């Protein structure tokens, strides 16, 4: 049988890199020609523990031989276990599980709307989000997203979303009202260019939501599970949200998404109000439980903080050597953006081809580093050397 295939029968939805990965282990991936790459993307924030982490692989193997799927009409001990673990690290009370980030944000939006309309008995439905945000590709979540490119050709969009400039106190003060159902945001905008939220602004958002009876939803899909050096990014800011969404790193590569909410808000989802066939499936929960247990055992947030410091030493040295080419270094933990005067896509292509390192962009002029939490000092040096070479030679 021939192994040569083409993409003729795939929808052409991605700008693809011309490589075909067939194997991964730790921070390394290999293509079909046997070339090895260092993955500093974590598969876009997913493989936080590296590829095929042994603890998660073992748990999945055991689950594969035990039970794959049941309906959500029966009780789910594994969902209960994962919910309990996530509640403990987040300080929130109840979880709902689904299969992706966009689905998690859909659930967050639905929960917020229903809480207002059914629990509080208020007809408010407006959701405030921010420019340059990214919340997903379903109709509601692309509407929530503050970037026009994801909306092109998909009209009409659902009603009730408005977008405000990020880190702007006055804009929110002016827009928030008795019609506001929720304010929804990432605390480090990932896809939009690696922009962290300012502390005073975030504290003010919490106060404004409380004063106007609106909910605060934090999209932790990219920033959650230790990525920023805390379990969840809001823990940097001394605030507590009403709802958070999680996905990417939660299953180490097995698709898992979910939302967590306070007891009060979670009451809005009564039986029959929201659901999913696959969400919370035993395989996904096994991956999630093993991932959280491993992150806890590795003290992931503290580890990520340490790795951030190591990266910053190297990146700041590069900026000092090339102040004309490096405009800014931003981010938290292992979500770091390097803004340059060059085309970020050209830089990451050069680094992939010449140095065998996979990196991402976040907008046209930002190189995004999203490495795993098991990145070593030697790998950090390797990534920094490649960036330096690219800035000098592209
Ligand atoms: C990736 C991402 C999403 C969408 O998640 P999918 O699993 O691709 O649907 C939503 N919000 C943020 C912040 C993300 O990074």
* DSSP string across 189-229: ETTTT-EEPPHHHHHHHHHHHHHHT-EEEEE-TTTTTTTTS
Can you tell me which atom of ligand 1 is nearest the CA of 191? 15
Give Cβ neighbours of residue 138 (< 8 Å, ≥ 6 apart). Answer: 102, 103, 105, 106
Dist. CA 65 → ligand 1 center (Å)? 31
Q: How far apart (Å, rounded) are the C-alpha atoms in residues 254 and 60?
A: 9
The residue to mutate among 13, 218, 244, 247, having the most atoms of ligand 1 within 8 angstroms of its beta carbon, is 247
User: pLDDT tens digits for 203-260?
Assistant: 999 999 999 999 999 999 999 999 999 999 999 999 999 999 999 999 999 999 999 9
**Protein residue with least CA distance to atom 6, ligand 1:** 101
Terminal Cα-to-Cα distance of the chain (whole angstroms): 42
Q: How far from chain centre, in Å, is Cα 127?
A: 20
**Torsion of the alpha carbons at 137, 140, 145 and 149, rounded to the nearest 10:** 60
Nearest CA owner, ligand 1 atom 5 = 101
Q: How far apart, in whole angstroms, are the C-alpha atoms of residue 298 and residue 318? A: 30
Whole-angstrom Cα distance, residue 292 to residue 202?
A: 27
Domains in the chain with CATH codes: 21-45+299-393 (3.90.1150.10), 54-297 (3.40.640.10)
- pTM of the predicted structure, to 2 decimals: 0.98
Contact assessment for residue 208 and residue 186, using Cβ atoms and an 8 Å cutoff: no
pLDDT at 1: 46
Counting from 1 in the atom list of ligand 1, the atom nearest the Cα of 100 is: 7
> 220 alpha carbon to ligand 1 midpoint, in Å?
9
In ligand 1, the atom with minimum distance to the C-alpha of 105 is 10
pLDDT in tens, the chain (394 residues): 446 678 899 999 999 999 999 999 999 999 999 999 999 999 999 999 999 999 999 999 999 999 999 999 999 999 999 999 999 999 999 999 999 999 999 999 999 999 999 999 999 999 999 999 999 999 999 999 999 999 999 999 999 999 999 999 999 999 999 999 999 999 999 999 999 999 999 999 999 999 999 999 999 999 999 999 999 999 999 999 999 999 999 999 999 999 999 999 999 999 999 999 999 999 999 999 999 999 999 999 999 999 999 999 999 999 999 999 999 999 999 999 999 999 999 999 999 999 999 999 999 999 999 999 999 999 999 999 999 999 999 9
Instruction: State the pairing for strand pair 215-219/243-246.
Output: parallel
Atom index in ligand 1 nearest the CA of residue 257 equals 7
**Which residues surround ligand 1 with Cβ inside 6 Å?**
100-102, 105, 134-136, 186, 190-191, 219, 221-222, 247-248
DSSP string, 131-167: TT----SSHHHHHHSS-GGGTTT-PSPPS-EEEE-TT
Q: Using one digit for the tens of pLDDT, what is the confidence trace for 10-53?
A: 999 999 999 999 999 999 999 999 999 999 999 999 999 999 99
Which pLDDT score, from 0 to 100, does residue 5 have?
76
Q: Whose CA is nearest to atom 11 of ligand 1?
A: 135
Which of 248, 284, 331, 361 for mutating ligand 1's site (highest number of atoms within 8 Å of CB)? Answer: 248
User: Nearest 10 degrees: CA dihedral of 293, 297, 298, 299?
Assistant: 100
């Amino acid at each position: 049988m021939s192994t040569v295939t083409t993409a003729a029968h795939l929808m052409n939805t991605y700008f693809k890199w011309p490589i075909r990965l067939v194997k991964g282990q730790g921070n390394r991936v290999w293509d079909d020609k046997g070339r090895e790459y260092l993955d500093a993307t974590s598969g876009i924030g997913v493989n936080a523990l590296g590829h095929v982490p042994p603890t998660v692989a073992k748990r999945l193997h055991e689950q594969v031989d035990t039970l794959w799927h049941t309906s959500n009409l029966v009780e789910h001990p594994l969902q209960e276990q994962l919910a309990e673990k996530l509640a403990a690290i987040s300080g929130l009370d109840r979880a709902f599980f689904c299969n992706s980030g966009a689905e998690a944000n859909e659930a967050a939006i639905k929960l917020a709307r229903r809480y207002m309309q059914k629990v509080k008995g208020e007809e408010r439905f407006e959701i405030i989000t921010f420019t340059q945000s990214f919340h997903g590709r379903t109709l509601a979540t692309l509407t929530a997203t503050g970037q026009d490119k994801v909306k092109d050709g998909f009209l009409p969009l659902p009603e009730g979303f408005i977008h405000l400039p990020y880190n702007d106190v006055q804009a929110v003060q002016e827009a928030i009202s008795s019609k506001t159902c929720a304010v929804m945001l990432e605390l480090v905008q990932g896809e939009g260019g690696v922009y962290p939220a300012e502390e005073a602004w975030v504290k003010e958002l919490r106060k404004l939501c409380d004063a106007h009876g609106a909910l605060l939803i934090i999209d932790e899909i990219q920033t959650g599970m230790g990525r920023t050096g805390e379990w969840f990014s809001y823990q940097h800011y001394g605030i507590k949200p009403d709802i958070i969404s999680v996905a990417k790193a939660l299953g180490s590569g097995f698709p898992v998404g979910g939302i967590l909410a306070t007891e009060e808000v979670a009451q809005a989802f009564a039986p029959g109000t929201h659901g999913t066939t696959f969400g919370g499936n035993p395989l996904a929960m096994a991956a999630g439980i093993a991932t959280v247990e491993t992150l806890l055992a590795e003290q992931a947030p503290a580890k990520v903080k340490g790795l951030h410091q190591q990266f910053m030493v190297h990146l700041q040295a590069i900026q000092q050597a090339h102040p004309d080419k490096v405009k800014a270094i931003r981010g938290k933990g292992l979500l770091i953006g390097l803004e340059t005067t060059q085309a970020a896509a050209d830089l990451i292509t050069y680094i992939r081809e010449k140095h065998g390192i996979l990196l991402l962009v976040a907008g046209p002029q930002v190189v995004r580093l999203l490495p795993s939490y098991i990145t070593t000092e030697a790998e950090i040096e390797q990534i920094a050397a490649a960036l330096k070479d690219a800035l000098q030679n592209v």
